[in-house]
Amino acid sequence: MNYQFDENKSPDRSGLGRRWGGISWLNRDLMWLFLLRVLRSLSQGYLGIILPLYLVALGYGAEALGLLLAVSAVEAAVVSTVVGLLADRFGRKPLLVVISLLLAFGAFGFSFAHSFVWIVAFAAIGSIGRGGALAGGAWGPFYPAVQALVAEHASDYNRTTVFGAFSFVGVVAGAVGSALAALPSLLRHFAGIDELTGYRILFVATGVLGVAMALAVFPINENRVLELELADELARQPQRPRPRQRLVLGLSPNSWRLVVRFMITNATNGLAIGMLGPIVVYWFYRRFGVNSAQLAGVFFAINMATAIPYLMAGRLALWMGSVRSVVATRAVSTVLMFAVVLMPTFALAALVYGIRAVFNVLSIPVRQSYLMGVIDPAERSSASGLASFPSQVTSAVGPYMAGYFMEHLMLSLPLEFAAVMQGLNTVLFYIFFRNVHPPEELNEREDRKQE
């Protein structure tokens, strides 16, 4: 297969050469990937809210919630890493089908489990509890395979824009999902159905969505041969000398040097994520005494407010540069996280948390795209899985620590600790990557030199 290589205008990988909806970068494969994102984020939107409330209704407290989230996070870390290592070798589609069916099986089992042991077991199988109330960016074990597939079907120049749009779709779907978290309260009020049954209805719906996700994977094209050829072309580019080298765990030495830095920064970010997620919902519940309907309304509004910034991520990265964009938005987010715990009312706390979320989400597609840009295409899933592993591990520790802090030390301590960890992540990201540029920024530098 021969094609003319151009880093700013990558070859059409869909095999269709066709635009969708008048959007130049949108093709058939991205459409199916967007649908996959919608289905996943829809379920995560309500699961992040109802999970802690469901455990409270069963008589469990913060420590039990932290333990469940920790076990689920450990399982997700292992599966995510395995998916990353195997996807580059055996294909990303088959693994996505398997994970989707595991989600369905775990959700169906979770809805009918009674003992805490089985509740934790099914939560781990289905990665239930990964993501939290702002779940548009939550992928868990799906992440390495999906991230590489999205990058495969986008050019370097449009890659961050595509990731931003991808997250936008996920956040909107997550917002709809968070609104669905009000269903148990509405069923109790209008139909006399107890809230436990309402929660279980939503868990069953999650199983159905898992099956739908598996079906959505089949039409997606995956061309491993083309991707390997693309990696060889990249190796011959004068501004990116990357000779093909012996791979260790799917990565070349050049990629390992970058991935180790991502692993260190992601470890601090994961600990911050673990301190938040459903723990934030529980904090609002304990701090202000609000119910599921109130929380559903707030997080629906927050999800909708954070949707638009995702569409700005591509322009922001091209204007400021990827690393500077991440550092600036994360710094503001850190300051606002400290401010949340100082708010005296639910309305003010929710408002500040929402503003914080807007700045925080701006960095998500930029970081996703940045990793894919600086790693050789044939190694993307392996890099994604390995880079995210420390984050998955530390986010597994975070929920249990947060539950312990809330029960035995101070209710707001998890939120403050999360802010400290995010601040450290911001500093490390700048130190490690300030001189590492993705191809679209390298091209711009070359153009300026020629001018």
Task: Note the pLDDT tens digit of each residue in 229-270.
Answer: 444 554 455 444 445 556 666 678 888 888 899 999 988 888
pLDDT of residue 247: 65
Residue 442 burial (10 A CB sphere; 0-12, 13-18, 19+): middle
Q: Is the pLDDT of residue 44 over 90?
A: no
Task: Note the pLDDT tens digit of each residue in 66-92.
Answer: 778 777 767 777 777 777 777 777 778
Quote the tokens at residue 406.
């809330």
Higher pLDDT: 397 or 261? It is: 261
Task: Note the pLDDT tens digit of each residue in 165-178.
Answer: 887 888 788 878 87
* DSSP label of 223: -
pLDDT of residue 4: 33
Asked if 51 contacts 39 with a C-beta cutoff of 8 angstroms, the reply is: no
pLDDT of residue 214: 92
Asked if 239 contacts 363 with a C-beta cutoff of 8 angstroms, the reply is: no
Q: Which CATH number fits domain 28-219+247-436: 3.40.50.300, 1.20.1250.20, 3.30.830.10, 1.10.443.10?
A: 1.20.1250.20
Asked if 379 contacts 235 with a C-beta cutoff of 8 angstroms, the reply is: no
- The torsion angles phi and psi of 23, rounded to 5 degrees, stand at -95, 120
Report how far residue 78's alpha carbon sits from residue 53's, in angstroms, rounded to the nearest whole number. 27
Residue-averaged pLDDT of the chain: 77
Report how far residue 225's alpha carbon sits from residue 233's, in angstroms, rounded to the nearest whole number. 13
Quote the tokens at residue 248.
């260790």
pLDDT of residue 450: 52
pLDDT of residue 445: 55
Higher pLDDT: 175 or 417? It is: 417
The residues with which 23 forms a beta bridge, in sequence order, are: 20
pLDDT of residue 261: 92
Report how far residue 409's alpha carbon sits from residue 403's, in angstroms, rounded to the nearest whole number. 10
pLDDT of residue 111: 86
Report how far residue 233's alpha carbon sits from residue 216's, in angstroms, rounded to the nearest whole number. 31
Q: Is the pLDDT of residue 211 over 90?
A: yes
pLDDT of residue 215: 93
